[in-house]
Amino acid sequence: MLAAARANGLYVQLCIDPNGPGIDYENYGWGANPYVMHFLEPSARPYDLKKYFYQDGDTANKDVGVFYYWKRKYKYMMARWGYSVNLAVIEPFNEVDQMLSYRDNWLAGDTTTTLCSENLVDWPADPDLPGRINDWLTDIISYVKDPVDLNDPVHSPLGEEDRLFLMSYTDVHTTPDPDYHAPFSNPRVDLVDVHRYHNAGEDQVSNTFAVDSTFRAAYLKPFHNGESGTWGEKQTLIGGQLTDYDGYKIFDNYDVSFHNELWSSAFSGNFTVSPTWFWERVFWWKDALPAPPSESITQNPFGLNHTDTLGGINILYPNGDSVHVRNRTIYHNFKPLSDLLAIPNWQTLDFFNGDFSAHKVYDETNKIECYYLRSADSTLAIGWVHNLNAYWENHYYIKNTATTQNFFGCTAPNAQQVSLPGFAVGPDYYITYFPTRMNDTIHPADSTDHSGLGTVLLDLSTAPLGDTVNHYLDTLHLDYAFIISATGPVKSLFVEDTTDVPTRADLWNFEMYPNPAQGELKIVLHGEGVKDVALYDLAGREVMARAQAVGPLITLPIGQLSRGPYCVRVADATSARSKTLIVL
């Protein structure tokens, strides 16, 4: 899986212990969890959950008992898979506040849970447990990240300083609480993730915008609404019977219906990760996905025409038209976002190294939503604008008992423009539009707002949202990305969809900036697959190398190099490109 992730430019989040001793988790595996069996079960219920982290619950016990075994587990994980930069994020526990005794849980006689009968007791909140988990995080993250002691490798930290640690939790508390959220305020925790389950309603993102902002302000670290739209549960008539199904496991064969959550998350100030539970759509393991139920023969004379294989063709027959749709991998929706953020002349504006704030415009009347990040001086912004009619329940093909929803598009908003406030008064603002899907080239014409009023108008009328021509699935007029700049237009790198085209040596190149450079060099890699990057001095000696690099953007530290010219060589398995770099 890591090899496939590296080849496709994907980054993996690994949950070390996803099913600890938590509410309703026993049937997933905590009943057989070796840490539960060896360190908790010898005592009576309710367990003292602090002993799940330290022997006797005492933070002084770091080299004996359970913490010793936690260290062995993390050492094994890093030794076995930690070589891969694509293992980027470590999540120690899934929804840590679901642990028994983290909050009051009266389960005696509760028939709605799946816990074994002996665990159906009163689990009173342990006020010391959140703080003890916080201590455990400090200790285990220090063990993973701190520098290696070459004089004592057996007891040494692991030196994995580049790994990001994430803590996830449920949304029981919708406002920050210093006691309850102690593990999430830990300064060594890099990322915070709340599982709010946005699985219904076109206003799902807008309704959580204020809550997200509150958490980000409290933690001062990247925040994410994880498991967005996780279940997608619907009902349909299959074989004459009304059947519940997970829409994401059936109809996402055609496309990825959480596309909206991905883009809105990026520009509502959250960090973006792969929406959970969809690894089948990244790697298309054999028999991992069910084939969607076929339309009836009266609707579709082609009969059985839906497939669950990568590259397979689905024949759809709405409104009398036959349309072929190919199954694709999930990353074709991630790649345009990555390409957008890596545009060289956007990178030179250094937006993400300064302060910026998240904003939204939610036009319920005209059915347009917009999320954007604005620079501290209010002269730059990057964002996403979307037709609200195309939320997840409407924007892919679903048959239910009431109606067959429109497969080919969505209702257009009443208006085709939206104004974004809060920009600096005076300058002209250049609006540049970008695709959000692979090979999506239909977007509004770039424009300039000359008003000088500090309110920038997005005029979408040259490519209106909501086109219902026979573009497959969400149509190419559902949403757009944009960059607003007072310094001039930011031009896109054209992204060619080469899914069905053999790779040729002349289809890739690379850019590097700044040049001349000092301190560090950024290299933008084009094309799929991994590349080997090397720097040579005038004598032809290799002075730096980065093997198996994955784009679109890598950074090389060059501060230790002497001044003068160097050759930068980038090669794949069949060809190579070279350019001259001047180091100051």
pLDDT tens-place string over residues 161-177: 999 999 998 877 878 89
Helix, strand, or coil (residue 224): strand
pLDDT score recorded for residue 224: 85
The C-alpha atoms of residue 175 and residue 532 are separated, in whole angstroms, by: 47
Which among 483, 467, 471 is positioned nearest to 385, based on CA atoms? 483
pLDDT score recorded for residue 437: 76
Is residue 59 very low, low, confident or very high in pLDDT (cuts 50, 70, 90)?
very high
pLDDT score recorded for residue 302: 42
What φ, ψ does residue 49 adopt, rounded to 5°? -65, -15
Is residue 371 very low, low, confident or very high in pLDDT (cuts 50, 70, 90)?
very high
Left, alpha or beta for 580 (phi > 0: left; psi -120 to 50: alpha)?
A: beta
Extents of the domains making up the chain: 10-195, 331-485, 505-583
Q: Convert the pLDDT of each residue in 469-482 to its tens digit.
A: 544 444 456 889 99
Rg of the Cα atoms in the chain: 26
Q: Which residues pair with 513 in a beta bridge?
A: 522
In contact, 181 and 189? CB cutoff 8 Å: no
Asked whether the predicted pLDDT for residue 503 surpasses 60, the reply is no
Q: At what angle do helices 129-145 and 65-81 cross, to 10 degrees?
A: 40
Give just the sign of the alpha carbon dihedral 12, 17, 20, 24.
Answer: positive
Residues 477-500: what's their mean pLDDT? 71
Q: What is the CATH number of domain 505-583?
A: 2.60.40.2550
The C-alpha atoms of residue 52 and residue 96 are separated, in whole angstroms, by: 12
What tokens appear for 310 in the block? Answer: 């990568």
The C-alpha atoms of residue 211 and residue 100 are separated, in whole angstroms, by: 25
Spell out the residues 6+ positions from residue 330 whose beta carbon is closer than 8 angstroms to its own: 256, 274, 278, 281, 282
Q: Convert the pLDDT of each residue in 411-436 to its tens digit.
A: 788 899 999 999 999 999 999 998 88
In contact, 560 and 531? CB cutoff 8 Å: no
Q: Convert the pLDDT of each residue in 276-302 to its tens digit.
A: 566 777 778 888 777 666 554 444 444
The C-alpha atoms of residue 15 and residue 193 are separated, in whole angstroms, by: 12
Q: DSSP alpha helices (H): ranges in 45-196?
A: 65-81, 129-145
- Give the rounded distance of the alpha carbon of 172 from its chain centre: 23
What φ, ψ does residue 562 adopt, rounded to 5°? -70, 155
Is residue 316 very low, low, confident or very high in pLDDT (cuts 50, 70, 90)?
low
Residue type, 481: A
